[in-house]
Amino acid sequence: MRMLINVAETVVADALRGMAAAHPELVVDVANRVIVRRDAPVAGKVALLSGGGSGHEPLHGGFVGPGMLDAACPGEVFTSPVPDQMVRAATAVDAGRGVLFVVKNYTGDVLNFRMATELAEDEGVQVASVLVDDDVAVRDSTFTAGRRGTGATLFVEKIAGAAAEEGMPLERVEAVARKVVASSRSFGVALSACSTPAKGGPTFDLPPGELELGVGIHGEPGRERRAMMTSHEIADFAVDAILEDLRPRLPVLVLVNGMGATPLLELYGFSAEVHRVLDERGVTVARTLVGNYVTSLDMAGCSVTLCQVDEELLRLWDAPVATAGLRWGR
């Protein structure tokens, strides 16, 4: 096992201690596994809270800060956080205008956030929730009933976060988040399996010279396996799969996302191919983001997410943001 860790049991705690040292603008509660922006609760503002299993960094903790999340709850690797974490975070960031939970569609996350909603409301916190289910590759999977939540989570957290920063009420922030979900679709490709610290090796078998089309961010099976394809061929397959479902009439945001072990040299080359396909299909690109944002530990591969945007969504996307993982305009 070649991993830059001490022991598997302390991987998440060690990472949180390192995050606290690197980002004094955050309050990182290592013992209770809660990350909060230091100026929370922000008066007059709806709070955004998300979370999920660790191993997808910078999602979600790297997106805590002005313009995005107010708090994040990291679970163990590929394991949902527990309701107590979410309630602790919600009460820490609630300024009296309510909290929006952003939930990726994985069974553990859905159940635990649902329970946390009930507990937080018992504490007097008004809670709304939005479910992100953007992956078009498969309908049901190992961890999911319905479509998986993947790259569109970034779009939801950024755009709804900007809406909250503007002072919109909870109902409006929730509506914006739901609009982003409805307007977004994703497709992922694995060139290698990921390795969890606990297992110490690949979590699934992907023979040399093959790739998995439609893989999930935990290594869940996709649509099919094929012999290795070129970047040109992968872009055709992935973008067409999205467009068959989305059929955008408006310009789109494009996220070309690395799964953790794919260098930017390859991601930018793949982005060029994605733009080629969109141009050939008559789809206008409004903005493009390239990098490792919604990862799967050390998996080699990528995902594409498209979100069609009107003037309001594009304005909110362009609004200032200052987090560890995403920053512009400030």
87 in Cβ contact with 32 (< 8 Å): no
Q: Is 56 an annotated catalytic residue?
A: yes
Q: What is the 3-state secondary structure (H, E, C) of the chain?
A: CCCCCCCHHHHHHHHHHHHHHHCCCEEEECCCCEEEECCCCCCCCCEEEEEEEECCCCCCHHHECCCCECEEEEEEECCCCCHHHHHHHHHHHCCCCCEEEEEECCHHHHHHHHHHHHHHHHCCCCEEEEEECCECCCCCECCECCCCCCCHHHHHHHHHHHHHHCCCCHHHHHHHHHHHHHCEEEEEEECCCCECCCCCCECCCCCCCEEEECCCCCCCCCCEEEECCCHHHHHHHHHHHHHHHHCCCCCEEEEEEECECCCHHHHHHHHHHHHHHHHHCCCCEEEEEEECCCCCCCECEEEEEEEECCHHHHHHHHCCEECCCCEECC
Does the active-site annotation cover 232? no
Find the catalytic residue in 23, 56, 60, 232: 56
Residues serving a catalytic function are 56, 218
